[in-house]
Amino acid sequence: MSSYFARAPRRFAGGGKQASSSCNSGPASGSHPADPTATAAQRVSDSIDEDIRKAAAAQQGGATQAIIILGQAESGKSTLQKQFQLYYASQTLDADRPSWRIVVYANLIKAVRTIVEELEYDFSQAYEEYPWPGPIDAGAENEFHTLRRDLLPLISLESSLTAQLSDGISFVGKRSASLFTTKQGLTRLTGTRPLGVLLDAPAAVVATNRAGQVLGMSVGAIEALWGHRMVQGLLRTRKLRLEESGSFFLGEVHRIAQPDYVPTTDDVLRVRLQTIGVVEHSIPVKTAGGTHLWKIYDVGGVLSQRAAWASYFDDVNALIFVAAISAFDQYLEEDPLTNRISDSLQLLAIICANPLLKNAQLVLLLNKTDILRRKLEAGIQIRDYIISYGSRTNNFYTATEYFRSHFLSAHKKRETFKRTLFVHLTSLVDVAGTQSVIASVQDTIIRKHVVRSKLM
């Protein structure tokens, strides 16, 4: 039976060369009669499909499947976990929706503060370089001072929001600071107490409502700042770099500042909340005729967090590695000399060689393709950051093929367990595209389960 994989089953033809857009196998459902005109390979594949349906039906209340999501910080692991939640238990995401309001506010305020600090810095530098009245845009500077004055009340609320989110764990208020979660997903988002409890606490309610009110009064100033020629200029020249969530929420500030604002699915997928530790989510997966439990482990990806991963490896059925291929021009925050792509490649190689994971199905998501596309369209050259890219064309197709082949060879070099690596190109903030990837991952996992149980 194990040779079924070598024969490239119908849905995974091409040994993992599948883009998310082309992969649309949904949860197994119903049965269909054998087609007398089918080829032998087709019949084998159909027989597996039938077994998958039977296995899914037989698993009512049965075996738990454990999936671990690995990858460097900010690659999109928690976003993938939310997409799993959306696909299998969207009602739980709906229930969580209001709780994300405080995080959206915090992300937005952090972006505003980052811009204000950057402009302050730029004006101070300009004065140092050019004695007044140098080539400085005096009009812009006056406008900036007015906006800054109007925005200071909002900016001053950031620390009270992050204090609520971190449940009293100290928060570093520097530019690179980020929010973080320590326990069970959103329900145990912020430390030892469930988020619901925290949000019911008078201090959290006061902080969130206060931020909402001040945001409502600051919309004009935020829009003026975000649209200002200097800010747009700094973004174009890339002197100012914001987190993805920051740019997104700044563009949506009018909607977010409404008094009855409740985060949408898009907002929930866009928020940035750093994961600390390993967060376990249990999701009931319904397939034809049965429900079984998937445990999904979402890990923190910064260097200091990685040592904690291995203790979760031994009972894992599938490993999903998320690599942000848009990050070719970025370096690790913890180690500014290490290019993010190079870190991802090394990490994948190490993980593939880990004997604790030898029975795990491997899936690789080359993520943030939407951002990669935008960067290439803006003329950012990959070869300026990755020398081995050489004279290749700087377009989306060539770039994704280049990254795909490098990740595949990182896997091949260290793979001693003869596992296939299933690869998908993804943009994990895109619901439709990601849902087809999740359906395919489900199919992969159940297929493996069927093959293994037939071998026993």
Detail the residues annotated as belonging to a binding site for Mg(2+). Answer: 275
**Closest distance to ligand GTP from the beta carbon of 371 (Å):** 5
Give the interface segment with Mg ion, choosing from 5-13, 72-80, 435-443, 446-454 (CB under 5 A): 72-80
**Closest distance to ligand GTP from the beta carbon of 249 (Å):** 10
**Closest distance to Mg ion from the beta carbon of 275 (Å):** 3
Residue 276 or 341 having the CB closest to Mg ion: 276
239-261 burial, b if ≥16 CB within 10 A, otherwise e?
A: ebebbbbbebbbebbeebbeeeb
Q: Phi first, then psi: what are they for 27, rounded to 5°?
A: -60, 140
Residue 71 or 191 having the CB closest to ligand GTP: 71
Q: Under the rule (CB under 6 A), what is the footprint of ligand GTP? A: 71, 73-79, 244-245, 269-270, 272, 274-275, 300-301, 367-368, 370-371, 427-429
**Closest distance to ligand GTP from the beta carbon of 298 (Å):** 7
Q: Which of 275, 367, 426, 434 binds Mg ion (CB under 5 A)?
A: 275
Which CA distances in Å does 414 have to 147, 303, 402? 54, 21, 19
**Cα radius of gyration (the chain):** 24
Do 66 and 297 contact (CB within 8 A), yes or no? yes
Q: Which of 18, 78, 85, 162 binds Mg ion (CB under 5 A)?
A: 78
The alpha carbon of 358 is separated from its chain's Cα centroid by a whole number of angstroms, namely 25
Rounded CA separation 264/394 (Å): 35
Find which of ligand GTP, Mg ion, none residue 429 binds, CB within 5 to 8 Å per kind.
ligand GTP
Rounded CA separation 4/62 (Å): 25
DSSP state of 34: P
Using CB under 5 A as the binding criterion, the count of chain residues that bind Mg ion stands at 3
Does the N-terminal peptide bond of residue 284 adopt cis geometry, omega within 30 degrees of 0? Answer: no
**Residues between 137 and 166 with contacts to Mg ion, criterion CB under 5 A:** none
Find which of Mg ion, ligand GTP, none residue 368 binds, CB within 5 to 8 Å per kind.
ligand GTP
DSSP state of 354: -
**Closest distance to Mg ion from the beta carbon of 167 (Å):** 17
The binding site for GTP comprises 269-275, 367-370
Residue 77 or 375 having the CB closest to Mg ion: 77
